[in-house]
A and B are shown apart, each in its own frame.
Chain A
């Protein structure tokens, strides 16, 4: 798997390349924002490790450019700043995870693997059910003309229902699919998940069949 590391500090950059290389990845290194943007825009990477403090073009701008031109690879951002407002800004710009410097290399490799695992199996297709469109490559949802950013759990819930198009799925089965277990706590969590999801996508998308379960509305 090919990764892009964007880091201007030579020691940290070399170390990342070596460590990820040892972990079995093929790694390219970019040391400026311009170079990073060009490589990410023209080549296919499985994931990108992006430092935010870059010369010429900062990391967040690079990330926004990639996302606006439809580049969907998962991005892990690295930064010296660890404030939550920065994390929020990074996630808003399209990052998938966040690691503050100084970091343990083992943790970085584990995070990259987790990102790749989450992104795996999502082809470039759009599933449409009623007013809802699920973009499986970006793990996002569209309702009418609005784009809605989903958490991974919310996405997996909608994707599961979308694949069971027209069937009413019990909370128990959904919990079993999402968590691998289905006790009372899990089914309560599913109810909470549906409540939160309805707040994001609006009413009339996820329907409740009282006593049976949930189904995606097919009404256009």
Chain B
């Protein structure tokens, strides 16, 4: 199964790459160290070989004679770890340390420099040997000179070095992998922010990604914003078209109502009744669709627009005061001038219009509209001095299609439609008994979204 976490993939590949690099480096260091200590040992043995060469001569039969013996006492102890051997065609001389053993030879020994090689030696020791062909006198007789040392000390040093090096390299691998983890976390952090902002966009379609992302992320954020804008424009266009269609159907419905009246006058009462029922149903469906469309637009369009509560309440009151239902009603509007809500003024007019018109319909003399801005919420209350409603009826009124005043003009109480619009603008609506004895409708918006 492929790894789906980008962080894990980056981290695993970084860890593997660092491991490979450190392994190669470790191998290289191991080789370098090996060559270094071999060369140092070879130099030390060359010094001893020079002492040997100075004491070397060939006797008349061509056998090698070394006198005096080299000074290093290890040459004199059997299996002492340091050996020399001189071989000619006629005979061989070697250090007492070799006892009855000898150092193997290999053809092709150079005359002009020391050759270094490792060989299995006597006494179960591995040997590091330097060897060279020399002519001790002018007789042109050649002698093979070999100086060897037990290489177990070298191997121990090399093993110790390797262990310490591996420990250091593992530590380095951990540090570098940790650094890679930090880099991955830091590098992917803007993606986390994008995810949080996209989540906000999902909850509030009017929101957009911020513009201060790193240069590599910016084009992505811009593309997402453009996509969201295009989609919002499409949705808006579709909704407007639906709303326009709904509005454009109203005049033909009025014309159908005219036909219905004519049919009734001509005695076709049943046909007229049927037409009237169809007109009423179509009209109600259109209103419901328009209300739904308005709520959806309000939900998406929480942009920079602001609605002044006092201005909206006064404008609505001015309309209702002129209608028959409102002409005997006094509107007491007690709202501070600076209370604003963060959505379109037309949506607030729709909310207050439906509620204040309803209050005026039920009120005896007075309708009060009050507004307060507290620390954590903005509250608008509409109350009347009418008969009020029981709690059970209040619950009914909030259900879509539920009406308090089935016989009243217009489209019923419409509280469910208002409730939709209030919740679409992040507000809450509660019904209860008001101080004037009638219904009180309390609207509250959180202060974070209001001012």
Query: Which residues of B from 395 to 446 have beta carbons under 8 Å from A?
Result: 409
Give Cα A100–Cα B261 distance, bound, in whole angstroms: 18
Give Cα A151–Cα B318 distance, bound, in whole angstroms: 7
Give Cα A179–Cα B329 distance, bound, in whole angstroms: 10
B254 within 8 A of A: yes
A107 within 8 A of B: yes
Using CB atoms, name the residue of chain A closest to B249.
A80
Asked whether A114 lies within 8 Å of B324 as measured between CB atoms, the reply is: yes
Asked whether B328 lies within 8 Å of A178 as measured between CB atoms, the reply is: yes
Give Cα A129–Cα B230 distance, bound, in whole angstroms: 61
B157 within 8 A of A: no
A97 within 8 A of B: yes
CB B341 to nearest CB in A, in angstroms, measures 15
Asked whether B330 lies within 8 Å of A193 as measured between CB atoms, the reply is: yes
B5 within 8 A of A: no
Query: Which residues of B from 316 to 359 have beta carbons under 8 Å from A?
Result: 316-319, 321-324, 326-333, 345-346, 349-350, 352-354
CB B284 to nearest CB in A, in angstroms, measures 10
Asked whether A153 lies within 8 Å of B353 as measured between CB atoms, the reply is: no
Stretch at the interface among A24-32, A130-138, A184-192: A184-192
Picked from A11, A91, A105, A114, the residue with its CB within 8 Å of the CB of B255 is A11
Give Cα A9–Cα B345 distance, bound, in whole angstroms: 32
* A 80-109 binary contact with B (CB < 8 Å = 1; else 0): 111111011011100111101111110100
Query: A53-B251, A193-B330 are known contacts. Are A88 and B258 too (CB-CB below 8 A)?
Result: no
A122 within 8 A of B: no
Picked from A11, A179, A196, the residue with its CB within 8 Å of the CB of B333 is A196
CB B392 to nearest CB in A, in angstroms, measures 26
Task: Provide the main secondary structure of the chain B interface.
Answer: helix
CB A164 to nearest CB in B, in angstroms, measures 20
B8 within 8 A of A: no
Interface centre among B257, B317, B385 (most CB of A within 10 A): B257
Asked whether A91 lies within 8 Å of B319 as measured between CB atoms, the reply is: yes
* A 193-210 binary contact with B (CB < 8 Å = 1; else 0): 101100000000000000
Asked whether B331 lies within 8 Å of A196 as measured between CB atoms, the reply is: yes
Asked whether B328 lies within 8 Å of A153 as measured between CB atoms, the reply is: yes
Contacts of A11 in B (CB 8 A): 254-256, 258-259
Task: Provide the main secondary structure of the chain A interface.
Answer: helix
A152 within 8 A of B: yes
Using CB atoms, name the residue of chain A closest to B280.
A102
* B contact residues, range: 35 or more
Asked whether B353 lies within 8 Å of A111 as measured between CB atoms, the reply is: no
Asked whether B330 lies within 8 Å of A192 as measured between CB atoms, the reply is: yes
A118 within 8 A of B: yes
Give Cα A19–Cα B262 distance, bound, in whole angstroms: 10
Asked whether A84 lies within 8 Å of B350 as measured between CB atoms, the reply is: yes
Asked whether A80 lies within 8 Å of B316 as measured between CB atoms, the reply is: no
Contacts of B354 in A (CB 8 A): 84
A15 within 8 A of B: yes
Asked whether B251 lies within 8 Å of A91 as measured between CB atoms, the reply is: no
* B 152-183 binary contact with A (CB < 8 Å = 1; else 0): 00000000000000000000000000000000
Contacts of A114 in B (CB 8 A): 324
Using CB atoms, name the residue of chain A closest to B290.
A82
A149 within 8 A of B: yes
B69 within 8 A of A: no
Query: A84-B349, A98-B323, A153-B327 are known contacts. Are A188 and B365 too (CB-CB below 8 A)?
Result: yes
Picked from B254, B345, B365, the residue with its CB within 8 Å of the CB of A102 is B254
5 extra A-B contacts, CB within 8 A, seeds A15-B258, A149-B318, A185-B364: A15-B254, A15-B261, A82-B290, A91-B318, A151-B326
Measured CB to CB, the residues of B under 8 A from A are 247-248, 250-259, 261-262, 279, 283, 287, 290, 315-319, 321-324, 326-333, 345-346, 349-350, 352-354, 364-366, 385, 409
Q: Which 7 A-B pairs have the closest CB atoms?
A: A15-B258, A151-B321, A84-B353, A189-B365, A11-B255, A80-B250, A102-B253
* 22 CB < 8 A contacts A-B: A9-B254, A9-B255, A12-B255, A15-B262, A53-B251, A82-B290, A84-B353, A85-B345, A88-B319, A90-B319, A91-B318, A92-B318, A96-B322, A97-B324, A98-B323, A101-B250, A103-B257, A151-B326, A153-B330, A179-B365, A185-B385, A196-B333
